[in-house]
Amino acid sequence: MQSKLFIDGKWTDAREGGTLDVINPADERVFHKCAAGTAADIDAAVAAAKAAMAGPWSRTSGHDRAGYLRAIAAKIEEQKQALAEIEVRDNGKPLPEALWDVGDAAYCFNLYATYAEELDGRQGEVIGVPDERFQSRVKYMPAGVAGLIVPWNYPLLMAAWKVAPAIAAGCAVVLKPSEYTPLTALELGRIAAEVGLPNGVLNVVTGYGATAGARLSTHPDVRKLAFTGSVPTGIAVASAAARDVKSVSLELGGKSPIVVFDDADIEQTVEWVMFGIFWNQGQVCSATSRMIVEKGIAPKLIDRLSEEAKKITIGDGMAPGTLLGPLVSRTQYDKVLNYMDVGKNEATLVTGGARPSHLNEGYFLEPTIFADVPSSARIWNEEIFGPVLAVSTFETEDEALKLANDSEFGLAAAVMSQDHKRAERVADAFEAGVVWINCSQPNFLEPPWGGVKKSGIGRELGTWGLNNFLEPKQITKYLSSDPWGWYLKG
């Protein structure tokens, strides 16, 4: 495992000599140390990225960049098991989930290789204008040096979501991973070096948000900022970007609803509700953490959910059969446990609400379900980011939609119903950037991803993700041999 910063193709210690502890959330023990980069290291990384943009990298074709992207994808796939095991120790998630994430990361680099090649075909495309004496065409330029700040819940995958489109577009980047989960970002730097990615195109600076992250957000030579994380930090990043009029995209929090009608298939609903809130320990920005269920089906559905939640195997992510690992850190554990205590005073605890009795160490919490949750409750309105489901009931479709949309967030939403016309109608009425019908959380990399309201600005993934890192340039040419004749009369 790597320990140093990756800047300009070289491994280096932090300039101020600091380190950060890497803790296994399953046993709360430090198992590694990484360099804790500060503003000086960010400055060096940005300078390296800027030099790369000024050099041959800026003249590469999409086809050339695709070659690097596919080589990175191949290395990730080749090293999938080792990378996934690092992710488990670093983040805590069960190994099957980590293997899925690493596979998706490889797919992401391959996908953007294809988009980079397609970009060559779009360069110089002619845009029709109403005056035949002129020709307008569009070229797509890289946005410049890009600062990428990624969260701890999907460390390698979230890095791939940003690094792959940025490189496909021709940007040079500085990647700042979470201080809780820095290891696979550094492995990505190693892989980039192994495939011969030019120096300075990918730089990885591990460190704390208040130092390294803050400097990356305010650095005058960074022209594009892409951030995934909490709303308060996203607001700070956006404010910093506004001072220099930087391009910014934000993927922030959520408190996503899943609306369940009486005609929904109970067993399918149980599966998708659980997947929507207990996958990745509920540490998912799009987690469908508010279940809004029609009164007629509510008692039976809640009973089945409680029954199945109690069967979930909780333990170390490396242990066979584990389906719920520890939360990522002591800070997150304490936060979610506090919400569980708050919920006990706001609603009816159905199951969970505490540390599993058989686990005396590690940041483990039981899958938790609260029923009869009022719309004024904190556990109904605030993002918990843990395995906590809040349940409320409705009688009419309008009431369900009002409950679903009455939120400051708008990242995702889901509806469960066998009435397909109603399901489509409800999907259209959701105030959310991502909507699921008769499922929750499946995420493909080709459609756009992002939210409305306080859930963010802009879209990632698909060609939308590529466009995040491109600046269209209009080139208009006067074709006629006749004089324009506005001032100089013939």
Strand 257-260, strand 412-416: pairing: parallel
User: Residue holding tokens 């600062």?
Assistant: 147
How many alpha carbons fall within 13 Å on the CB side of residue 354? 9
DSSP string, 16-43: T--EEEEEETTTTEEEEEEE-B-HHHHH
Nearest to 144 by CA among 38, 246, 250, 9: 246
Tokens of 384: 């918990």
Residues annotated as catalytic (active site), given as ranges = 251, 285
Which helix (H) or strand (E) is 147 found in, with range? strand 145-149
Q: How far is residue 47's CA from residue 240's CA, in Å, rounded to a whole number? A: 19
User: Looking at the chain, how many residues does it have?
Assistant: 490
Q: How far is residue 333's CA from residue 385's CA, in Å, rounded to a whole number? A: 10
Are 201 and 230 in contact by the 8 Å Cβ rule? The answer is no
User: Residue holding tokens 């993927």?
Assistant: 251
Tokens of 210: 């208040």
Measure Cα distances from 170 to 64, 226, 324, 352, 480 in Å: 10, 15, 39, 48, 35
Q: How far is residue 317's CA from residue 183's CA, in Å, rounded to a whole number? A: 17
Give me the sign of the Cα torsion angle 431, 432, 433, 434: negative
Nearest to 460 by CA among 112, 174, 145, 123: 112
- Estimate to the nearest angstrom the gap between the alpha carbon of 85 and the chain centroid: 20
User: Residue holding tokens 């039976």?
Assistant: 300
Q: How far is residue 124's CA from residue 140's CA, in Å, rounded to a whole number? A: 8
Q: Which residues contact 444 (CB under 8 A, 6 or more apart)?
A: none
Amino acid at 113: A
Are 462 and 420 in contact by the 8 Å Cβ rule? The answer is no
